[in-house]
Amino acid sequence: MTAAQAVDFEALTTAATEAMHAAYAPYSDYPVGAAALTEDGRIITGCNVENASYGLGLCAECTLIGQLRLTGGGRLRAFTCVNSAGETITPCGRCRQLLAEFAAETLWIKTAAGVTTLQALLPEAFGPADLTAENR
């Protein structure tokens, strides 16, 4: 069994679907829920929160990372997100970068095309290592 097969993506999808029902999406009518498994076994969730000033809206991944920090921090081992129909959707580029900041060495992501790694979705990501003194 591979590391990705050891992840209960059905439980993550259920948690993401429950989170989606808490979304605030009156402008786009596109609620999104997200769920992730941390290295220490917690499942955390997030939902999108829109704003009348469209640019101020938060993706589900943003609120998920807030929840990660509020519940003890750590690193993300697995992730998925869903739309209002419960269909798996793939994180946008901005959210891939956000997930990279908090990813475990390997972050398994269930996408519409199947399970892959964040590294495959965001190769050569910019991250904390790029901000060391010798890289400035």
Residue of 50, 61, 101, 124 marked catalytic: 61
Decide if 101 is catalytic.
no
Q: Which residue do the tokens 């941390």 mark?
A: 38
Count other Cβ atoms within 10 Å, centred on residue 113: 8
CA 90 to chain CA centroid, nearest Å: 9
Contacts 24+ apart (CB under 8 A), 97-101: 97/122, 97/125, 97/126, 98/59, 98/61, 98/62, 98/65, 99/61, 99/65, 100/125, 100/127, 101/65, 101/127, 101/128
Residues marked active site are found at 61
